[in-house]
Amino acid sequence: MANSSEVGLNLSSIGMLIVAARRSIRQLIAAKVVPLDITPHHYWMLMVLFKGAPMSLGELARAMWMDNPTVSRMVQQMGLRGYLTVGPDPTHGRRIRIRLTPEGLLLCEKLLKIGEDFQEGSQKGMTAEEAAVLREIMCKYIRNLDVMVANELPGMPIRPQHHHEPAEEQPKASGI
């Protein structure tokens, strides 16, 4: 027989399940990274850069599903702490490139285990196919929300746009 929390999950809307998952993800990541004196958002930013640096501010913001001004402040904070450098993009005169410093790379080496453990624990009992289907369904859900925002909130800035491709065309999830 299912316990009462399981019954509650089964009766919840998809939106509420996403809210619950986001809350748990944030709590789990925070418990691991706060002792390293970084926030969960800093963790995600460092992991994105570790897997794809150097990046422009816009590329980083899109990869993090955040707006440029917020990511710019985070980059500045991590730069002041010695984890990132910001320099000109040699291929584009007005764009900057954000890179990890040697100290940032060392921190990322420590953070990798957190992401690996999270992926393993959060997908326990799922097959690779189930994880791919979940990713594909979430992309479809996000596309639907994008359309709703565009139609129901005209003129409101929308978060950075992404291409929501089927799971088999997506790169391997980054552990976050």
Q: What is the pLDDT along the chain (176 residues), one digit of tens a residue?
A: 455 556 566 668 898 999 999 999 999 999 999 999 999 999 999 999 999 879 999 999 989 988 899 999 999 999 999 999 999 888 877 888 999 999 999 999 999 999 999 999 999 999 999 999 999 999 999 889 888 988 888 776 565 555 444 433 444 444 55
Range of the domain at 9: 4-125
Q: Is residue 80 part of a domain?
A: yes
Q: Is residue 100 part of a domain?
A: yes
Distance CA 109, CA 126 (A): 27
What CATH number did the domain enclosing 62 receive? Answer: 1.10.10.10
**Would you state the pLDDT for residue 76?**
96
**Would you state the pLDDT for residue 10?**
67
Q: Is residue 39 part of a domain?
A: yes
The total number of structural domains that make up the chain: 1
Q: Is residue 157 part of a domain?
A: no
For residue 100, which amino acid is it? L
Q: Is residue 139 part of a domain?
A: no
Q: Is residue 66 part of a domain?
A: yes
CB 24 within 8 A of CB 9: no
Query: Is the backbone of residue 141 left (phi > 0), alpha (psi -120 to 50) or beta?
Result: alpha
Q: Is residue 40 part of a domain?
A: yes
Q: Residue 7 is inside which H or E element, if any?
A: helix 4-11
Distance CA 161, CA 168 (A): 20
CB 77 within 8 A of CB 42: yes
